[in-house]
């Protein structure tokens, strides 16, 4: 018999001392089964933590592809500063820990039968289900835009082939050419992402194509870390990036992939490269399962991430509206860790503990110039996950080049630490 580890011994003694062994219905009939759909930030974090917190739970991670390419640092790939391979990870370490990896597409959820239905006809049974499937593009929201057009005007808002396409288009931009970046209204994945992208594109172009222009057409009037970004643009890329807020464009009326134009209420813009980032929602199979109520994002209990609409199903990350937390990879991973503890408690009929959640979002204005925003969140009396007053904040507006360089280094450390924790 394999000797028990200290952790297993502690887990067992906690269980016995708390007297919960008798009161754990799922465990009484065998090992509890948790299925997690989505092998990105939220899903991988939940799977790994749950496996460690309660090794007696059967954890199955369903992932569309055998590898995951992160959106964080994909803007560096577009700028030619990193390879796509360096931001792509497999699930071998998770499998080694005893997490069952199922590569395939989940197409439907049957909450009554407690089954996840897969594209290949298989069905996965669960006692509790966790969904962290990210986002889906709403191709039909802007006249002229379509799924087919993403091959001409890539969004690159899911990392992988789209990232490479946009990278190659940027590298082939004619001298003095124009890049258009269309940004949707909130809520969308990674609020500062489009502005980091503009920054890193400018970094690349300032070396190879210094008369090129980048025009950002925004569906809103302000954005995350705006004063810090604008300060960086003026210092590093004067005159290269133009920001056109909603007030000055009136909204996008039409997109034309043949002409490479975006027509707004006030003007038609023509680009040699068009990075069209469409509006987004929770994926359709999640909506079809009744998890988004009347809206397009999942509503959850903000302490347990259990769906407000479908009991037994927990939703994390970008697919859910989780109080004040932004749709970021770090948020999703932190939520995944908390959700694992919640599940471990619920599966043993214990009341889950409440704690604080954190998010830090670094953005690179150039590879050597970083800025950040941090937040601390706690579930308030009214059940909403709210920013803790006086906590968090952004990088100072007044800072030395050394400080900005240090923040860029912190961004790299953050990425290495998080991806190692999830996939390493």
Ligand X SMILES: Cc1cc2nc3c(=O)[nH]c(=O)nc-3n(C[C@H](O)[C@H](O)[C@H](O)COP(=O)(O)OP(=O)(O)OC[C@H]3O[C@@H](n4cnc5c(N)ncnc54)[C@H](O)[C@@H]3O)c2cc1C
128 is an interface residue for ligand X by CB under 6 A: no
CB atoms within 10 A of CB 386: 17
Instruction: Note whether 155 and 275 are within 8 A (CB).
Output: yes
106 is an interface residue for ligand X by CB under 6 A: yes
193 is an interface residue for ligand X by CB under 6 A: yes
Comparing CB distances to ligand X, the nearer of 119 and 353 is 119
Question: What residues numbered 206-265 form the site for ligand X, per CB under 6 A?
Answer: none
* Residue written as token pair 């961004």: 411
43 is an interface residue for ligand X by CB under 6 A: yes
What span, in angstroms and rounded, lies between the C-alpha atoms of 332 and 338? 10
74 is an interface residue for ligand X by CB under 6 A: yes
Q: Cβ of residue 280: shortest distance to ligand X, in angstroms?
A: 10
H/E segment holding residue 68: strand 67-69
* 172 phi/psi in degrees, rounded to 5: -95, 10
64 is an interface residue for ligand X by CB under 6 A: yes
Contact region with ligand X (CB under 6 A), list: 80-88, 231-239, 248-256, 324-332: 324-332
Comparing CB distances to ligand X, the nearer of 271 and 326 is 326
361 is an interface residue for ligand X by CB under 6 A: yes
H/E segment holding residue 193: helix 193-208
330 is an interface residue for ligand X by CB under 6 A: yes
Contact region with ligand X (CB under 6 A), list: 17-25, 39-47, 139-147, 218-226: 39-47
38 is an interface residue for ligand X by CB under 6 A: yes
What span, in angstroms and rounded, lies between the C-alpha atoms of 222 and 232? 16
Strand 273-276 to 268-270 pairing = unpaired
> Strand, helix or coil at 141?
coil
CB atoms within 10 A of CB 374: 15
279 is an interface residue for ligand X by CB under 6 A: no
CB atoms within 10 A of CB 11: 18
Question: What residues numbered 138-157 form the site for ligand X, per CB under 6 A?
Answer: 157
369 is an interface residue for ligand X by CB under 6 A: no
Which of 271, 328, 264 is CA-nearest to residue 154? 271
What residues line the site for ligand X (CB under 6 A)?
37-43, 62-65, 68, 71-72, 74-75, 105-106, 132-134, 157, 189-190, 193, 197, 283, 285, 317-319, 327-330, 332, 361-362
């Amino acid at each position: 018999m394999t000797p028990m580890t200290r952790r297993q011994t502690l887990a067992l003694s906690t269980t016995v001392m708390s007297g919960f062994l008798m009161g754990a219905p799922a465990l009484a009939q065998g090992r509890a089964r948790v299925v997690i759909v989505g092998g990105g930030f939220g899903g991988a974090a939940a799977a790994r933590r749950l496996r460690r917190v309660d090794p007696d739970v059967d954890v199955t991670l369903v992932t569309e592809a055998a590898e995951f390419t992160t959106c964080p640092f994909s803007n560096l790939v577009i700028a030619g500063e990193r390879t796509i391979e360096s931001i792509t990870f497999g699930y071998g370490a998770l499998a080694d820990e005893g997490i069952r990896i199922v590569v395939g597409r989940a197409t439907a959820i049957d909450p009554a039968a407690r089954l996840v239905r897969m594209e290949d006809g298989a069905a996965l049974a669960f006692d509790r289900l966790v969904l962290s499937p990210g986002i889906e593009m709403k191709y039909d929201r802007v006249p002229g835009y379509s799924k087919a057009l993403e091959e001409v005007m890539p969004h690159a808002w899911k990392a992988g082939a789209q990232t490479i396409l946009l990278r190659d288009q940027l590298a082939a931009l004619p001298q003095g050419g124009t890049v258009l970046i269309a940004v949707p209204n909130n809520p969308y994945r990674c609020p500062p992402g489009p502005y980091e992208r503009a920054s890193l594109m400018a970094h690349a172009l300032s070396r190879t194509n210094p008369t090129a222009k980048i025009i950002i057409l925004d569906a809103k009037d302000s954005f995350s870390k705006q004063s810090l970004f604008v300060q960086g643009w003026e210092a590093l890329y004067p005159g290269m990036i133009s920001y056109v807020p909603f007030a000055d464009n009136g909204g996008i009326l039409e997109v034309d992939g043949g002409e490479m134009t975006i027509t707004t209420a006030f003007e038609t813009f023509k680009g040699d490269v068009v990075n069209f980032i469409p509006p987004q929602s929770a994926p359709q199979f999640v909506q079809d399962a009744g998890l988004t109520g009347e809206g397009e994002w999942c509503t959850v209990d903000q302490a347990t991430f259990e769906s407000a609409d479908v009991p037994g199903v927990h939703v994390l990350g970008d697919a859910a509206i989780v109080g004040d937390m932004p749709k970021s990879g770090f948020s999703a991973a932190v939520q995944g860790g908390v959700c694992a503890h919640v599940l471990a408690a619920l599966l043993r009929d214990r009341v889950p503990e409440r704690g604080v959640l954190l998010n830090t979002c670094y953005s690179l204005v150039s590879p050597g110039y970083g800025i950040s925003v941090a937040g601390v969140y706690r579930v308030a009396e009214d059940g909403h996950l709210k920013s803790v007053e006086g906590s968090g904040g952004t990088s100072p507006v007044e800072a030395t080049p050394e400080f900005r360089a240090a923040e860029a280094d912190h961004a790299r450390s953050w990425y290495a630490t998080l991806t190692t924790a999830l996939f390493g």
